[in-house]
Structure 1
Amino acid sequence: MSRTRLSARVIFSMGVALSALSTQSAFAQDADAAPAAEEAESGEIIVTARRRDENLIDVPISVSALSGDALQNQGAIDITSLQDKTPNLTLQIARGSNSTLIAFIRGVGQQDPLWGFEPGVGLYVDDVYVARPQGAVLDIFDVERVEILRGPQGTLYGRNTIGGAIKYVTKRLGNEFEGKVRAAYGSYDQIDLIGQVTVPLGDNFSIGGAIARYWRDGYGRNLTTGVDQYDKDVIAGRISAEFAPSEDVFFRLAADKTVDKSNPRHGTRLVGNLGLPAFAPTDSVYDTRAGIGDDNKVETQGISLTGSIAINDTLTFKTISAYRDGHTETLIDFDNTPGPVLDIPARYDDSQFTQELQLLYEGDRLQGVFGLYYLDARASGAFDTVLGALNTTTLTSGTVKTKSYAAFADVNFDITEQLKISAGLRYTKDDKTGTVFRRNYTGIRSPEFGNSAAIPGLIRTDYTNSRSFDEFTPRVSLSYEPTEDLNLYASYGKGFKSGGFDMRGDAIFTPTTVDGYAPETVDAYEVGMKGAFLDRTLFLNIAGYYSDYKDQQVTIQVPNVVTGGIASFVDNAGKGEIYGLELEARIVPTPSFSVSASLGYTHADYKEFLTFIGGGTTPVDVADQRVFQNTPKWNANVSATWSGDLAGGRVEVTPSISMRSDYNMFEIPNPILDQDGYALVDTSASWTTADERFKLGVHLRNLFDTRYRVGGYNFPGALFGNSIIGYYGPPRTATLTAEYRF
């Protein structure tokens, strides 16, 4: 038996035994013996969804909040685990990537991570907007909580939060010396090492840092080169300094860096081609025969300065300054064979500077935030499209420069103690300049990617163009709170995602690509209820929503046998109708037992889908042939937590099941690629000493070893090697963790 399988079985057996002990102990536990649990389950969950501290029940927005400790206790490996716990959320690692994030909320998002394209779900780290998806698969360490804001957040967060926003909130240092070390060992020789420390230097100044190192063998193998597939090799760190000379003044300087050297994920073939062994599907979905190589590196880093100054009892001034940059070197083997049938070597570079100024007002009946925002960003890159059968390569390269300006205000007025109205407005102006170059070469790879002997051919695209986009995005909500623990609300908000330029655009095949594409918008309506019932033993959030989605930006890539390459279109193709329901419930009958559940329903339907594909120079409406991608109609999660005393400490166990119905990988349905509904069963158990200094945990994920696709590519036809390939979520894993706090 291999060491990997042995370690998994040993940890699995330990987890089952610990779970059984925990379950027996929990039911024997006296309800009054855990005051800390009572405080944790009080329902006073504080979020900053409206840029100020508020009780979650009082916020007229559909928000989910998960603490970093809770995510670690349940064995969450990174923020993609949030999709198993949050209604109508899809978070996945991008196809062919290890650390690029794909995000959809309520059917709205962006799958294409190419430079110049912007996500439809905004990601914020301590209120700093992260413009690019590369390196955005954040690991769960040094985090206080994660907030998921569903629906457009166009007033307060503005920039491209047309589907929603994800806020990653790190922990403040405080003014006490403390730290912790955490280690994990698990299946596939997984090793995680994490350390955090806070060091006060005087009464009002502290420094601190956190570092994390992640190793893991691959779930599969590259049968051509012999290296691991779906492995992990990441180092990440953060360092910060906090200065608080008084209760009214706070400044924080923070820096972070992540380096990911994991091997590229090449996917697996789903269909064969001409009966050739090299083109046949592999026995394991995690194996590949890709021959393009195994070099892959993603580096992201940033620095930020945030400050808060209380001017008086009602006014507070805040400033958020940040700079971030990233570099990616990657390889994508579209054909998954040893030869260069359809290979894509690529690199991306990006940088951004942002500055935000806020003025917060906190009065007896009026609260509000007023702000200015500025972004200066540059995204560039290059890739080759190699067609080995024709001995040709098409080089694509380019740059998008963006300057964005915004002014916003959001106020809340208490009409009465029970009736409140909130309104906001944001004005955004984006100036964009795009440069795109495409050229054919004879030979395998272009000079840009190492083949100096390649013979230059036809220039297909060569332009620089500029466009400006601007939009007002209003928001209004009405809340009625008949009691302190019940909030009934209705809201309207508008979302806006800027237009841009297609970095793959082929000016010969589609001459209009030089004009770029227009913005997309969403008008969203929501009614909801948030409340605590039965003496605060039942917490219930319910929301129903309707969205009118206009001018949706859709990226379509199709094989083009005429030009011997891949034709790309970014069309403002879609006009859609989306409506659905979200439910989150938490039942806490005793301090030692709780149940959490969530349910999401999304009905997404295109009312218009205009495209030039198959239509020559006249756009054709194919709405009846298109579907929303990455949007299951149903998703649900149920988990239960038992806790109790054991061996001088406290034991806790949390089994859970998450379910997702069928969903499509792209707008064009494909029964080979599209994923059927599936369920994932996890369980975690932990034991903590009475002084809470030491914790031992076991985390079992995907217990039934379910295989499910999270991405794919579709390039059928002999010229492209009939390349239909899929990427898969993790198999069954078991992890043992140990943590010590000091």
Structure 2
Amino acid sequence: MFAPFRRQTPRRALWVALAGTSLLALPATAYAADAPAEAEAEQAQPSGGHDIVITARRREENIQNVPIAVSVVSAATLDAQGTYNISRLTQLTPTLQFYSQNPRNTFVNIRGIGAPFGLTNDGFEQGVGVYIDDVYYNRIASATLDFVDVERIETLRGPQGTLYGKNTTAGAINITTRAPSFDFEGKAEVTLGNLNFKQGKASVSGPLSDTLAARISVTTTDRRGTLYNTTTSSYIQSQDSVGVRGSLLWKPSEDLRVTLSGDWALQDPNCCAFAYGSYGPTQRAANRQYPALVSYFPGYTVPSTNPYDRVTDADAALAARNEIGGLSARAVWDVSDSNTITSISAWRFWDWSPANDRDYTGLPIYTKVNNPTKQNQYSQEFRFNHEGNGFDFVAGLFGFYQEIRTSGIQQTGTAASKWLLAPTSALSNNPAVLNNVVAINDIRLDNTSLAAYAKVNWELTDRFTVSPGIRVNYDKKKGLYDSVVTGTASDGTRQIVSPVPGSPYYNDAWIAAQRGVQASQFFEPSFSAWNLSYDVNLRYQATRDINFYATYARSFKTGGINLNGVPADNNGAPIQAAATIKPEKVNHFEVGIKTQFWDRRATFNLTGFWTDIRDFQANVSNGQFGTVRGYLANAEKVRTRGIETDFSIRPTERFNAYVSGAYTDAKYVSFCDAPPPPELSGGNTLPATGACTYSGTVSAPGTPGGNSPPFVDASGQVLPGVSKWAFSWGGEANVPGKLFGEDGQFYLGYDASFRSDWSSNPTPSIYTNVNGYLIHNFRTGFRTGRFDVFAWVRNAFDRNYIDLLLAGTGGNTGLIAAQTGDPRTWGGTVKFSF
């Protein structure tokens, strides 16, 4: 009973500290009448009218001179638009897609590729790398924390690997936090809004001696949930996070800088569940589809069939505790004027403690589907940078080790027999048959990656630069999957639910019924391979403000192993051929132009790209092995191509505007054994006759009791999770004025983002296509060089939209579960700096 008190104590203490810091800042702002407001105003604007310096290529460069597709968002823009995590970053970066059922089940894609959609598996790599201060975060779940004292975020699009520690095929998100300062400085920020939204941030930095400086930053976010649970009479999908980051900068000389950093963050919301989305008929027998199944439970009704009522009746315990932290040491030694050695050492941990209701109903079908996970990762990177006359290069070594341990449980309840067994079976009327069928899962991964890479920039002429790069990579994965399923036999004893013919109680009617739901399985997959990747960038500077560039990259995503179970053969043994996943092989082409004009008050950039991927790692069904079970395997070929554009303008200091857009055409080129969509699943499964062939005729979609294919040919269909069209735009106007005796600016800002419809299922389905939507945000306030006070409203016109659609409870009952986007939110923010 003391858990809520313990959980709130750090937060209350943090809020007291934030309030105290804000009060301490007040006297400083009271005497700031002569402080110029232009510096803060300049920082707060989107790109345009001034140079933006980035470090995407491991050295400081003007973004307009970098021959790759990259976007950058400053800390001021993040704060002004309320972007405090990667999820909200998608409204500023059209080609970035982020979808999350909870921190563990999170997918981040760029240009439609990055992670297999719809299935969680620790045995594969991310296609989008996330770096914070040069430290690689291997799992997206460990990077869902709120931003703490961020200086800028760079999103690189396209394969990365000849400049970055870990090879990635889709791109990288490079986050840079503020470094310790030898000048005393600080800031504090408090935000209040509807839905009981409370957010506080504070940061203080300054010298401890002539050679040592420190910075400490804290953040906390708390918000009432947006989904009401009628079972518990409480709101869920809340936000509840706290984070602390500290760093020490030791600078014994101008040539050596050593930064020690540590961070800790905790997310502990009341989360996560889905609302009823819709019903779509499948091929399952009519008496086993959602309307009939619900009728077997007199008195049960779904609380609402409109997902925008934002109600659910989840009856299982819910939790989404996500604890993240680590330590790093970054040393930069300028050996000479032209040579620099950098070392980055890091340890990180991730502790995930979930509780889920995975039947998406208020019935006790699955009472537990929880997979708590603990991860430790260690990385070491060495880089050598050389700047010569007409050329420069970077060479590096990267080592990474990751250990993941998952101890999971799945448990059925008293409604499982009626819901999961055919009503023609006498056992379906006996709740005891499937009640308390328990799977205890022991899942382990040891992941090692070693690499050497190099990149050269060679100026052939004053205008033409060639930049080749190369990477040699070795990866080794060793895993274990041990699921022990126990159930109650017809004689009342607890027994192992074994898939092996002839095993004890194999022919027991109750055990046989339980085996149809889940059976024990054990296997130890492993994978190791060397890979070579390379790229070349060409840059031609036509004029001072016009740059053309072209890129070819031959990249890869390392192979993986299945750690969520694999199909079994006729003897119940796991099929070892399905335990490993082949590496992705990527051919990437890109051309672009970067321009500035009107005395650099306007910027226009245009990029075209084409990416082919062979052996694309995807969620598939086991057609070639004669049974149907979702797991990860390789689709033969995928292609994504498109055009991206960015335009910004700042004609005067009083006005700026921007628009970014992307057209993305991402498709399966060849994918013959894709999982059947809901409307073709659940019927009489036709027999597979080969790797991608089967015999018989498939019934029309949504025919109850019809024939279902063991797999479908998805060739030519769209990839999941990507909109064909995406745009973001906005602007800000300001006028000089005076408030509280301070000279500054009154301002009005507007931002919007649009995404067209997209598929929310691994194979496109008529039931899980998410409609496009347009979101408008407004803000208005007054700022000086010392403080900023403003009011804001997001999703100003209260647009109803869907974040995610899922086929629920086995995928073929016809139930579609929905995760709705945020309704209109509004509030106010006060920021002080000193």
Residues 1:456 and 2:463 aligned together: no
Q: 1:706 aligns with which of 788, 793, 799?
A: 799
Question: Cα deviations across residues 172-198 of structure 1 (Å, max 9, x unaligned)?
Answer: 112011111111100101111211111
Three-state SS of the structure 2 residue aligned to 1:431 is strand
- Cα gap change, 1:221/1:190 in structure 2, threshold over 3 Å: closer, same or farther? same
What corresponds to 2:162 in structure 1?
155
Residues 1:679 and 2:774 aligned together: yes
Question: Cα deviations across residues 314-359 of structure 1 (Å, max 9, x unaligned)?
Answer: 1000000000011111122222223332451221111100000000
Contact 1:291-1:336 within 8 A present in 2 as well: no
Aligned length: 695
Moved more, 150-159 or 579-588: 150-159
- Cα gap change, 1:75/1:238 in structure 2, threshold over 3 Å: closer, same or farther? same
Amino acid paired to 2:372: R
How far 1:605 sits from its partner (Å)? 2.0
Q: 1:356 aligns with which of 381, 384, 388?
A: 381
Distance 1:293 1:443 in 2: 23
- How do residues 67-86 of structure 1 correspond to structure 2 at under 5 angstroms? 67-86=74-93
Distance 1:557 1:643 in 2: 56
What corresponds to 1:439 in structure 2?
484
Distance 1:321 1:624 in 2: 44
What corresponds to 2:22 in structure 1?
none
Question: Cα deviations across residues 425-464 of structure 1 (Å, max 9, x unaligned)?
Answer: 01111011011112322169xxxxxxxx964321642122
Question: Cα deviations across residues 503-559 of structure 1 (Å, max 9, x unaligned)?
Answer: 112352561356411111221100001111121121111100111111111124799
Amino acid paired to 2:532: F
What corresponds to 2:654 in structure 1?
592
What corresponds to 2:688 in structure 1?
616
Q: TM-score w.r.t. structure 2 length?
A: 0.79
Amino acid paired to 1:424: G
- How do residues 520-669 of structure 1 correspond to structure 2 at under 5 angstroms? 520-556=584-620, 567-611=629-673, 616=688, 618-620=690-692, 622-624=713-715, 626-647=717-738, 648-669=743-764
Q: 1:52 aligns with which of 53, 59, 65?
A: 59
Bigger Rg, which one: 2
Moved more, 170-179 or 512-521: 512-521
Amino acid paired to 1:680: I
Three-state SS of the structure 2 residue aligned to 1:264 is coil
How far 1:644 sits from its partner (Å)? 1.8
How far 1:715 sits from its partner (Å)? 3.7
Contact 1:434-1:465 within 8 A present in 2 as well: yes
Residues 1:311 and 2:351 aligned together: no
Contact 1:101-1:136 within 8 A present in 2 as well: no
**Structure 1 gap ranges (5+):** 1-31, 445-452
Contact 1:100-1:137 within 8 A present in 2 as well: no
Residues 1:174 and 2:234 aligned together: no
Distance 2:745 2:824 in 1: 27
Contact 2:165-2:398 within 8 A present in 1 as well: no
Contact 1:403-1:432 within 8 A present in 2 as well: yes
Question: Cα deviations across residues 566-585 of structure 1 (Å, max 9, x unaligned)?
Answer: 93321111401221000001
Moved more, 287-296 or 513-522: 513-522
How far 1:103 sits from its partner (Å)? 0.8
Distance 1:268 1:186 in 2: 24
- Cα gap change, 1:36/1:511 in structure 2, threshold over 3 Å: closer, same or farther? closer
Distance 1:476 1:640 in 2: 36
Q: 2:318 aligns with which of 270, 289, 294?
A: 294
How far 1:652 sits from its partner (Å)? 2.3
Distance 1:310 1:85 in 2: 36
Moved more, 420-429 or 112-121: 112-121
Three-state SS of the structure 2 residue aligned to 1:327 is strand
Question: Cα deviations across residues 16-71 of structure 1 (Å, max 9, x unaligned)?
Answer: xxxxxxxxxxxxxxxx9957756875431111111111110111100000001111
What corresponds to 1:400 in structure 2?
445
Residues 1:470 and 2:563 aligned together: no
Contact 2:37-2:745 within 8 A present in 1 as well: no
Distance 1:147 1:636 in 2: 18
Question: Cα deviations across residues 603-652 of structure 1 (Å, max 9, x unaligned)?
Answer: 12222113286663732271347430111100011101112212232122
Contact 1:154-1:494 within 8 A present in 2 as well: no
Distance 2:691 2:438 in 1: 29
Contact 1:609-1:622 within 8 A present in 2 as well: yes
Amino acid paired to 2:152: R
Amino acid paired to 2:796: L
Residues 1:732 and 2:824 aligned together: yes
CA RMSD of aligned residues (A): 2.5
What corresponds to 1:496 in structure 2?
556
Three-state SS of the structure 1 residue aligned to 2:163 is coil
Contact 2:202-2:219 within 8 A present in 1 as well: yes
Q: 1:480 aligns with which of 528, 533, 540?
A: 540
Q: Identity across aligned pairs (percent)?
A: 29
How far 1:149 sits from its partner (Å)? 0.2
**Structure 2 gap ranges (5+):** 1-35, 280-289, 418-433, 499-518, 676-685, 693-711
- How do residues 188-207 of structure 1 correspond to structure 2 at under 5 angstroms? 188-207=195-214
Distance 1:265 1:664 in 2: 22
Question: Cα deviations across residues 273-332 of structure 1 (Å, max 9, x unaligned)?
Answer: 325544464555432111111233111111100010000011000000000011111122
Contact 1:553-1:574 within 8 A present in 2 as well: no
